[in-house]
Structure 1
Amino acid sequence: MTLSKECRDVLACPKCKGPLDYRSEEQRFVCFYCRLSYPLREGIPVMLVDQAVAF
């Protein structure tokens, strides 16, 4: 399952409100400002800072 482009374009980083880069092959959203990665679980983005992964 993938998110529509319209949904992806609306999402922002919950920590800094910056833009997110969608990595379809990794099923995650990435914020390059905060250096945090937000996973997709069963096609749903998990936009919780405490569950984000630093990279």
Structure 2
Amino acid sequence: MDPKLLEILVCPVSKTKLVFDKEHQELISTSANLAYPIRDGIPILLEDEARQISAEEAEKYRKQKA
């Protein structure tokens, strides 16, 4: 994922920055507890396509971001 693109992308639900999970190819919104998929290098920032993540999983990403 291009770091410059990651700087400007925000969660469409919470309007907050996203965390890139390289292993799972997802963009994580820790405030909305959603994980948006990246398919063929393209972030799919649709709420209907995102998977819900647990509060524990979101906290793990928050710590990563800090």
The answer to whether the superposition gives a TM-score over 0.5 is yes
Unaligned runs of 5+ in 1: none
Corresponding residue number in structure 1 for 2:21: 23
**1:1-55 matched pairs, under 5 angstroms:** 3-55=1-53
Unaligned runs of 5+ in 2: 54-66
What is the number of equivalent residue pairs in this alignment? 53
Query: What RMSD, in angstroms, separates the aligned Cα atoms of the two structures?
Result: 0.7
Q: How high is the sequence identity, in percent, across the aligned residues?
A: 32
Larger radius of gyration: 2
Task: Output the amino acid matched with 1:43.
Answer: G
Give the structure with the higher percent strand: 1
Q: TM-score, normalised by structure 2?
A: 0.76
Q: TM-score, normalised by structure 1?
A: 0.90
Greater RCO (CA < 8 Å, at least 6 residues apart): 1
Give the structure with the higher percent helix: 2
Corresponding residue number in structure 1 for 2:61: none
